[in-house]
Chains A and B, each alone.
Chain A
Amino acid sequence: MQDEQSVGSRLEVRFEAMVRAFSGDLFRYALFLSRDRSQAEDLTQEAFLRAWRSLSSLREESKAKSWLFTTVRREYLRQFERFQPPLDELDPERMPEPRGNEAETMWLRRLIERLPMIYKEPLMLQVIGGFSGNEIAQMLDIPRATVNTRLFRARVHLRQLLDGRNLELRDDEASGG
């Protein structure tokens, strides 16, 4: 019984370390997917509860991290794909007066939110999660070349919008990157 209790205790310590290490980034990723803070918290909570149930199989920290991000994504697709909170119009008149970096940061945040999902997902996995191209390809179950194309287009598009060039980025990928 003591052995079982010490196993339980070790699992709890490990779980807490995972929560401390990943919950912030996981919430941010969930928020950019769902664009809703309460949904993002639900997704984060759910991912960690599932992680607790599968903790003994999540031995490597790097795998645990990608497992958590993948779980958030799957749960989002399962639960919330049909519900998309309305986006505010990107009306420059409604944006705060640019005051240095803060206004630009807010503006860029809204531009990211508006990216089509196929571009937003790999970009957020890279920028928030710090995952490599190969890891993102595995997590999204798409070829590495497709990940590269989507990352390329996402950045170019954001940069153009930030520079005031309003170019359309569509969901389809008819042309190559």
Chain B
Amino acid sequence: MNCFEFRRLMEIAPRGAGADAMAHALECARCAQSMKDALAFERKLAQAVDVPIPKRLEERILLRQSFRARWRLPAVRPVAWAWAACLSLAILVAAAGGGYLYKESHLKQELVALIEAADYALVSRTQLPDGEVADALRPVGLAIGEMPGRVSFAGRCLVKGNLSGHLVLREREQPVTVFLMPEEHTLRRVRFERGGWSGLLIPVGRHGTLAIMAAPGQPMDEMASRVLRTVRWDSA
């Protein structure tokens, strides 16, 4: 390797200098200096491109993927088809029997869609102050006493066009979503699986309906009991 080739290499790939280049640098003081300068410039380049990445970028990517995965993994597809069949059956029964099952099925479908549309609510792990949770539920006509767990998101949403409370709690580090729906009246306690989520619908008398949604395997009954104990539904 001659000096010209060496200097050119330093501008093309200074970190990729092989044995030839190193041998030349040992023999030629000017090229050794040139290598030193080139490596110093590489450090500056590396610093310049080391821009800060957005907070929680990795988590957001993984969250989006996890929603897609529920529909795309081979293991999930048969379940999705099975549920589609169940949904069709439910619609037939509803048409024959007064529409109740259809209404319930529609509610489940809407709750799944709501969770996936509001994926941002599942990201935070930080516990909210109690006051913030109470403030979020007040416009829905709900009052909350002792927190039912570690609330990491508190807000409102529209369920079938009606204002509802929306909480996310962290149980065993996993998010559990709670919908408090004063305008939604169901007739029976029902457990369901849909779109990769487990759900529990609980009628709260004349006050409305409570829904708990979580990944399969997450305990939901105890969470439901805690929420029912602490939420007052007729505070408006």
Contact = CB atoms under 8 A, between A and B. Distances in A.
B13 A105 contact: no
Interface string B61-77: 11011101100111110
Interface string B13-51: 100100000000000000000000000011011111111
A23 B58 contact: yes
Given A108-B45, A108-B48, A127-B49, A4 B57 contact: no
A110 to B, nearest CB: 9
Contacts of A124: 49
A28 B47 CA distance: 12
A28 B72 CA distance: 29
Nearest to A3: B75
A156 B11 contact: yes
Contacts of B172: none
Given A23-B61, A45-B64, A105-B48, 7 more contacts: A12-B66, A27-B54, A127-B46, A132-B16, A151-B13, A152-B11, A162-B44
Interface of B: 8, 11-13, 16, 41-42, 44-51, 53-54, 57-58, 60-62, 64-66, 68-69, 72-76, 78
4 smallest beta-carbon distances between A and B, as pairs: A4-B75, A108-B48, A8-B73, A109-B48
13 contacts: A4-B75, A19-B58, A23-B61, A44-B57, A48-B65, A49-B68, A52-B68, A52-B69, A105-B47, A108-B45, A112-B45, A112-B48, A151-B13
